Structure 1
Amino acid sequence: MFYAIRPYRDGDAEHLAAICQAAIAAIGPHAYSDAQVAAWSARHPSADRYRARVEGGALIFVAASSDDVPVAYSLLEADGHLDHLYNHPDHTRRGLAGQVLQAAEDHAIRMGIARLYTEASELARPAFERAGYSVQHRRDFDIEHYGQSVAIHNYAMEKRLD
Structure 2
Amino acid sequence: MSRSLKQPTSLKYLSAYSPQVQSQIQTMLDQDKLGAFLLKKYPEQHTINNDKLLRDYVMELKNRYLRKSSPLSKITYDKKIHVVNNALGLHTFVSRVQGSKLKSKNEIRISELFKTAPEAFLEMIVVHELSHIREKNHDKAFYKLCEHMLPDYHQMEFEMRLYLTQLELKGGIY
- What's the TM-score bracket when you normalise by the shorter of the two chains? under 0.3
The TM-score with structure 1 as length reference comes to 0.27
Higher-Rg member (1/2): 2
